[in-house]
Each structure stands twice: as C-alpha cells, then as structure tokens.
Amino acid sequence: MERNGLPRYLRLADELRTWIRASGLPPRAKLPTEAELCARYGLSRGTVVRALELLERQGLIAREQGRGTFVAPPRPVQGTFRILDFSEDMRARGKTPGTRVLRAGVERPTAELAERLRLPRGERVIRIERLRLADGEPMALETRYLAYSTCPELLGEDLERESIHRLLIEKYRLPLVRAQYTMSAAVLGARDAALLATAPGTPGFRVERLTFTVGDRPVTWMVSLYRGDQYRFTAELGPLPPPPGAAEV
C-alpha cells in the first residue's frame, strides 16, 4: 500500500539514500543484499530491485553481477546540470510537498502553444493547472499542456497524488528523453498572487519547460510561477540522469 502518494520503491530509495549518506560509508563499502533488504523492510524483491536501480541511476550505488551492491565512488563532474523537481526539492528540505488541482480540461491551443508543441491544425490540448504546496503553503503555480491525442486518459488520473511525468513514462509508456528550461524574473499579478497567498507585485520566478520524446518531438510544455519570497532554485552539477518521476510530480 502507498503512503502519501509515494510508491513503495520510492519510499525505500529515500530511506536507503538517507541511511547511506548518514552512515558515512566510504566508496566501495558493501551494502546489504537484495534478500537482506527484503527481510529488513518486509518488501518484495521486485520493489527492492526498483529502488536499487533508481539509486544506481542516481550514481549513489554500484551493483556488480555476482559480487553485490556497493557505495559508488564519486563521479567526475561534467558541465551539465538538472534542476530538481518540486517534490524532490521539498523533501530534500524537510518539507512535505503537496498538490492541488485548480483546473484540468481540454481547450484549443493559442498560436504560441501550437508552435511550441508542433501541433497539427485542429489539434486540441489538455491543460492542467496545479498549485504546488510545501507543508500546506502555496509555493508555485504550474500550468502544463500536451496534445489531447497524446494521452487523453490523463484527465481520468488522480492528478493531486500522481506524478504526471511518471504516469506518462511508466503507465502510458511514453519515453521522455530530454527537457529544455527557460528561467526569467517575473512580477506576480493579482490572480497569481492571490493563489500563491502573497501580495500583487511580489517578485517571482517564471520557469518554462519543454519536454521531448524520441525523434526530438515536443510532448509537454509547462509554465511555472514561483514565489520569489519563499523559493530558491537548486541545480545539480554532474552527469546524473533524472530519475523516473523526478522531474515533476
């Protein structure tokens, strides 16, 4: 059973990540076996394997066939970075992330949106507007668009508890392979400020993210407005690929 909307393997990955970092284990230190983790946490082997695969993709552990699982040595830093997704970032700061859906429906795209998503003439779009919370306090206003034909079933999902990014990848088998970010300063207007529980004219951040699938085809465009008085951005420098669902609940 899931708790707080998080699948078991993600909760296990969080626990193992915290334990490894807190224990101060040196690189190449051997970690418990899959069987030992199953017994310790009362979980199935499949759940344990998914958690370990996630930690391996994040560069925290190394798994060697026939030898076991070890703390990974530090990777060399490269000139690429990724912005932490909202839920991941809030949990790292010791806060409980939350989501409130403000609207979810189908509409005709603007000319700008049709151009960004390379939509054919007459194609409608799904628009999902959500308020992102930290310990119940509004932090960001997020609006996401994708072609209706891409995944009409998305509107039937629990979008307050499920990661849209994870649903598209894992449930609807849509590979999302890269994302392009644009960040700029913003001043919150009356409606946005009211939703974010702050005063009109408050400084904020505007983040646009265009996400692509194979063939370099754009799939989703997301525009997020963040409270400048409460939020700061964190970027990770290095070659780590985004874990499934990390870009975004």
CB distance 173 to 180 below 8 Å: no
- Angle CA 181–186–189, to nearest 5: 130
- Angle CA 203–206–211, to nearest 5: 165
User: Residue 78: what pLDDT?
Assistant: 45
Q: What is the mean pLDDT of the chain?
A: 84
Instruction: Provide the pLDDT confidence category of residue 80 given band limits of 50, 70 and 90.
Output: very low
Q: Of 144, 121, 120, 122, which is closest to residue 132 (Cα–Cα)?
A: 144
Task: Report d(CA 241, CA 16) in Å as an integer.
Answer: 19
pTM of the model: 0.61
CA atoms within 13 A on the CB side of 196: 27
User: Residue 233: what pLDDT?
Assistant: 66
Q: Does domain 8-71 have CATH number 3.40.630.20?
A: no
Task: Report d(CA 152, CA 166) in Å as an integer.
Answer: 16
Q: What is the pLDDT of residues 146-163, one digit of tens each?
A: 999 999 999 999 999 988
Task: Report d(CA 147, CA 108) in Å as an integer.
Answer: 10
* CATH topology for the 81-237 domain: Chorismate lyase (3.40.1410)
193 φ/ψ angles, rounded to the nearest 5 degrees? -65, -40
User: Residue 246: what pLDDT?
Assistant: 42
Encoded amino acid at 187, one letter: V
The yes-or-no verdict on residue 60 having pLDDT over 90 is no
Q: 116 or 76: whose pLDDT is higher? A: 116
Q: What is the pLDDT of residues 172-217, one digit of tens each?
A: 988 888 888 888 889 999 999 999 999 999 899 899 999 998 878 8
Buried b (16+ CB within 10 A) or exposed e, 138-163: bbbbbebbbbbebbeebeebebeebb
| Domains of the chain by residue range | 8-71, 81-237
Encoded amino acid at 102, one letter: L
